[in-house]
Chain A
Amino acid sequence: MMRFLLLFSRQGKLRLQKWFMPMSEREKKKIIRDMTTMVLARQPRTCNFLHWKDLKIIYKRYASLYFCLAVESQENELLALEIIHRYVELLDKYFGNVCELDIIFNFEKAYFILDEFLMGGEIQETSKQIVNRSIEASDMLQEGDNSEWYEVELFG
């Protein structure tokens, strides 16, 4: 299972944090500090995997953002990389050529999209179409907020 997902910039600014297990704020701060220093210190073209305590850390850089995913030791590293990639694809589809600023200014959307994709530390839906459709459907619900919700055909 996944334990947490962090997005941070090259300057170490945290942009998104998702915790799949309860943790105290203090622990979270410590982990964020450890992850940013560890990942930012890595040389280019090294491998994307690290051991940290009893977890595996899988990280990847997209433009100015680092995506850093911690999974339990029996998890598959390569697929964890692709979970990151799929999330980037989903963000990209939603924002259209996503950049760091999109995630800063629409942080709540970034969380909503993540929630459609992952849940309880597991992947919930691996079909890009289905995730995109339900995100669009939520947006339609937002625009037509006054309409009765059940009239919207969600999953045609």
Chain B
Amino acid sequence: MNKMPAVSKGDGMRGLAVFISDIRNCKSKEAEIKRINKELANIRSKFKGDKALDGYSKKKYVCKLLFIFLLGHDIDFGHMEAVNLLSSNKYTEKQIGYLFISVLVNSNSDLIRLINNAIKNDLASRNPTFMNLALHCIANVGSREMAEAFASEIPRILVAGDTMDCVKQSAALCLLRLNRTSPDLVPMGEWTARVVHLLNDQHLGVVTSATSLITTLAQKSPDNFKTSISLAIARLSRIVTSTSIDLQDYTYYFVAAPWLSVKLLRLLQCYPPPEDTALRSRLTECLETILNKAQEPPKSKKVQHSNAKNAVLFEAISLIIHHDSEPTLLVRACNQLGQFLQHRETNLRYLALESMCTLASSEFSHEAVKTHIDTVINALKTERDVSVRQRAVDLLYAMCDRSNAKQIVVEMLSYLETADYSIREEIVLKVAILAEKYAVDYTWYVDTILNLIRIAGDYVSEEVWYRVIQIVINRDDVQGYAAKTVFEALQAPACHENLVKVGGYILGEFGNLIAGDSRSSPLVQFNLLHSKFHLCSVPTQALLLSAYIKFINLFPEVKATIQEVLRSDSQLRNADVELQQRAVEYLRLSCIASTDILATVFEEMPPFPERESSILAKLKRKKGPGNLPDIDARRNVNGNTEHSEKPEPANKSSFALLADLLPTNRPRPASASPIMLSTATLGSTPPITALLNLNSPPSTGASLLVDVFPESSCLTAPEVSEENFFRFVCKNNGVIYENQLLQIGLKSEYRQNLGRIYVFYGNKTSTQFLSFTSSVTSPDSLKTQLIVHAKTVDPIIEGGAQVQQILNIECVSDFTDAPVLNVQFRYGGTLQNIAVKLPVMLNKFFQPTEMTSQDFFQRWKQLGAPQQEVQKIFKAKHPMDTDVTKAKILGFGVTLLERVDPNPENFVGAGVIHSKNSQVGCLLRLEPNTQAQMYRLTLRTSRDSVSQRLCELLSEQF
């Protein structure tokens, strides 16, 4: 560590070295800041001074600024000097200038123009070194402005006959970079065909760069680059059959061109196996050669040799798995990976486990993978590295089938006891899924889930225990066993709250099945459950109270005991409103209702509809990037926030889950009263489908209805309810309308220019709604801008029930008006007519956009025409809370851009409105003034109607 600062080659900048030394010698952060401020002052004065600086000094100071920036300090000057360096004739000055620009992208649009100008000159210079600097700068910054300026120029450089090889390489990768961030600006054309032929180039560096570019382009439009398949196979074949000296410097530790080989194999993964048989067998030969070479004794003991060789092997295996068509190759691949499972290199063990996961999903190699089960289980027990163990869990999950499920579940359960906290929840989900999927005998399933709760109760999510209840309810062969098992599990002095939930629910439903045994008589069951009561959280206590009232129905002999409990002060005067209400209502119900009524209300739960497991959905969400939108409104349509006596998703729920667990399609008891509403799903009535067929199809529109029902009362169009409209600007879910009879709830999701709204109609009364219709109408001007298609809805809504309607929406162009939901139905003798303005607003079609502060201000200036900007100053209607404001702006649909506005109090956002006809970029800025309790909101978009509408919508929110 005492080595002196290295002598810089080329031209050293002594001043810079001294400055870096000084900084390193600073004893404290304060001292460092002081030294930096001194230097900044010095540089500023040099830049401002009268004396013109020579190129060397300018370079030195710019380099110092760069160093300061890289230390993590802000730099707000020097950009102009750096830009000046770009046009220097001296390579070293130009190079520093470009480095500075690449690292500190500047927001000044004038500068971007100057930078682009310098780049243009260098690209035209025909000097390969300068051209490369310019291309690197474009690739490093890669902003849209640069893409706009150069996207058509670079392909020309790439395919020109006289371009030097090193420039071709840079041009290919520069184009690749622009294509990734601004694909719309990179024109496809005649050059694409010529790029493919670069695969034949003599220079392997050019081939490598070109392969990267072609792979990216082929992923987006495979058809245009099909000709690359044969060229890639030919090239690969030449590499794998070459001797190590053939490729000279492209041989890496005795491995022929590993980077190029891997890239070619990747390119081939964009396509299915070649149809041409000759080509196909040539590729198979290549792959076999790679597999063979991997088995040869190593040519070097260096890890680099083995890494490079195995990198090609793993990529070849990826291609074999991708094609999934050659059983021999798949099995060979599996066997070779099997050898790695016990390799002394941790990296290889890790990769082998990972790669085998995909092999397990192929029907050809699934069995071959299974033969390694003992090795993988051993890895779970002995690997020291948690990331390797995690791969082992993944592989066990992937190789599981009916034949080995019991063994794998047992091993996972035993691993769970010591597993890293970070992966416990995932293991719990996996075990729960495997246990359900491969259960032949559901007693095993019940045991497994209870074991999960015992071992890792804290990591058992709601989905898991909801699911076990669903399954027990749906399978009457396991109900008695489940009741017995939970009863036994509850005997443990300390049991997890999740077990109390499952126990409470199952004994409440099926406790009667074990009540014949005196050791689990009704009173014993009740006392057991109630002994846990005071240890539980409120939702669990609520669930237990529901279990108690179910007990009163099941076992009249404990009625008095339970009534006593319900009547106690700790229940009737519970500080928690929900608990208190339940205690009061259940007590009352137990006193006044006849046994018949109780029996009807608390009849056994009807089976749940069979659906994909909600646990699987959760695991997919945990693993996959395509997350489903969250639902913020947990209230059900009837308005009462129900607790967990029925499986209802908590805050993390998704649509799939909701559909799975909320019995929305099940009618409520006909005699619904306020009590019934909160206990509704404890009872059951005949399925609604039986009633459906009795009814004629619903009429489609409001006008039709007027003809059918000529009562004068409905001839006047109802007033359109708008009161909740603006509450939906920044959120998608909630109750949009409610009166004494009906509640209308919405759940909406939007993607690009499409949207879907789930409308829930809840009948708050105990009487049927008849001739129920609902349709969507739009003012004429809106009809061409926004298309709303409403699915038909059942014409009868039972008392206490709710039905769902789906609206599909397409935004054709920007719009201002909103569609109206017209609802009609007969209640008692009268026709009800309700119209609600649907909260489909322009901002719903936002896609948030990330941009740098430079891009933002560049855009902001471009949108400076008076009609593009709309500004509004208004008084705050709500407390001015920063977090709430942020949440609202995000809910509005734009990205919140941090550190763009010089004033940190202000909020700046950006997004793109997607409609079928156009995309409109939008920038917004919100400036709060807490003293005056005012806001100023400014919107800039390329279209005045859009600016206007967005401003109206958003300004209502604060």
Contacts and interface: CB of A to CB of B under 8 A. Distances in A.
Report which residue of A14, A51, A127 has the largest number of chain B beta carbons within 10 angstroms of its beta carbon: A127
Contacts of B948: none
A45 B166 CA distance: 39
B183 to A, nearest CB: 14
B924 interface: no
A63 to B, nearest CB: 10
B66 interface: yes
Interface in A94-153: 94-95, 99, 101-102, 104-109, 111-112, 115, 119-130, 134, 137-139, 141-143, 145, 149-150
Contacts of A74: 266
A24 B898 contact: yes
Contact of A125 (B127, B169, B304): B169
The 6 closest A-B pairs by CB, nearest first: A120-B177, A142-B10, A78-B311, A46-B385, A141-B91, A127-B249
Nearest to B9: A139
A105 B17 contact: yes
A147 to B, nearest CB: 10
Contacts of B164: 155
A86 B165 CA distance: 21
Contacts of B8: 105-106, 109
B311 A79 contact: yes
A37 interface: no
Interface in A19-55: 20-22, 24-26, 29, 43, 45-51, 54
Contacts of B248: 127
A92 interface: no
Interface stretch (B205-213, B593-601, B800-808): B205-213
B136 A119 contact: yes
Contact of A107 (B10, B67, B387, B898): B67
Interface of A: 1, 14, 17, 20-22, 24-26, 29, 43, 45-51, 54, 74, 76-79, 81-82, 85-86, 94-95, 99, 101-102, 104-109, 111-112, 115, 119-130, 134, 137-139, 141-143, 145, 149-150, 154-155
B24 A104 contact: yes
Contacts of B608: none
B129 A122 contact: no
Interface size for chain B: under 10, 10 to 19, 20 to 34, or 35 or more residues? Answer: 35 or more
A43 B385 contact: yes
A114 to B, nearest CB: 10
Contacts of B180: 1, 21, 120
Interface string B8-43: 111100000100100010000000000000000000
21 contacts: A22-B141, A46-B346, A47-B346, A76-B314, A78-B307, A94-B9, A95-B6, A101-B6, A107-B67, A107-B70, A111-B99, A111-B103, A126-B259, A127-B248, A128-B249, A134-B166, A141-B91, A142-B10, A142-B11, A149-B91, A155-B166
B314 A22 contact: no
Contacts of A43: 384-385
- From A50, A106, A111, residue with most partner B Cβ within 10 Å: A106
Interface string B77-91: 000000000000111
B486 interface: no
B631 interface: no
Contact of B173 (A78, A120, A130): A120
B388 A47 contact: yes
B308 interface: yes
B333 to A, nearest CB: 15
Contacts of B349: 47
Contact of B20 (A26, A104, A143): A104
Given A24-B852, A145-B92, A108 B173 contact: no
A129 B311 contact: no
Contacts of B17: 105
Contacts of B384: 43, 45-46
Interface string B164-180: 11100110011011001
A108 B64 CA distance: 10
A129 B96 CA distance: 24
A101 B3 CA distance: 8
Contact of B89 (A82, A94, A128, A149): A149
B250 to A, nearest CB: 6
A105 to B, nearest CB: 4
Nearest to A152: B129
A105 B5 contact: yes
A106 B6 contact: yes
Given A79-B308, A142-B92, A105 B20 contact: yes
Nearest to A13: B71
Given A22-B181, A43-B384, A82-B308, A112 B351 contact: no
A102 B7 CA distance: 8
Contact of A121 (B24, B128, B177, B625): B177
A112 B307 contact: no
Nearest to B269: A74
Contacts of B315: 76
B90 A26 contact: no
A138 B304 CA distance: 29
B262 interface: yes
A95 to B, nearest CB: 6
B313 to A, nearest CB: 9
Nearest to A77: B351
A127 B308 contact: no
A83 B135 CA distance: 22
Nearest to A50: B387
A65 B955 CA distance: 52
Nearest to B126: A150
B173 A122 contact: yes
A142 B99 contact: no
Given A47-B350, A78-B347, A138 B139 contact: no
Interface string B876-907: 00000000000000000000011100000000
A125 B174 CA distance: 14
B106 to A, nearest CB: 13
